Structure 1
């Protein structure tokens, strides 16, 4: 049987301890490297998030200028923050008048720099609807809904103001469907119609459509 002296046992124990100590130190160093890399990645992500938040806050705090007219108490040009909505613009103008047509506006609509917003009146909608009703009741349409009177359609009802008319009324115009009606409303919110020919600036409305609308619309 192999006998180990005390001196040899001590040397063996020392070698084992040194190997354990070396392994332990290496493990600590690797852990520190991993923690450093993880902390660096976290710091980069946090810095990127903070930068994005600063940019977003900066954009929200940018000032824009918007022109508000129509059925509001104090129409005019207002300076607001870019994050604000139509309801904030109306509040800045002192609120709506009693005749404002809430069915034709979106209070949550976003506003942007250089925009013009026109708040329509219920009187315009009611008068146009009444004119349409009277025109039909007068007997100028046959059972197929076609005009049989010798009088023109425009002679029997009021002209539609494309700067104020709502979605439904615009769709009643010749050659104007839901998509074109929305395009007209979007255009006038940015640039009011100064003349009928401005309709040609809208995609999908050409000379032929304008010709058919000529005797049905007005801009004043």
Structure 2
């Protein structure tokens, strides 16, 4: 096949254009695949939460942990149980959520400072140390503003040590406390 000089130049230019367009398409598809991989990796990433554990663990405190973890995982982060831990009083398989307050009770029921509770007695009560705004609003006369103040107080001052401490929150007086005291717990 005999081609003129102009035909040869035209053929070369055409081949270069085809290669250029092909490489652009290849790299844009490769970039799209990379973006899909990044999106999939972000979807599988765990969210980090903060939870508080105290009572019969070796290192009580606030811990950062992935949101797919359970109380037993938090106990290991806190150095494990002490010899006095009452393991039957806590469901160690419970999944953790941000702002949880976990207290591992003692076996010694006579020890006042340990705040021993029977979790069956408090099962239906709202835990003021871990309740969300929506959970707090289930209490009589507690709306958005008061629920937010309870959580702000808790975040600023740490967990409530007794239910009566709830009266330290602005807007909760003796009368309101009397109306809700049988509906709340700190464990």
TM-score, normalising length: structure 2:
0.46
With structure 1 as the length reference, what TM-score do the two structures score? 0.41
Structure with the bigger percentage of helix:
1
Computing the radius of gyration from Cα coordinates, the structure with the larger value is: 1
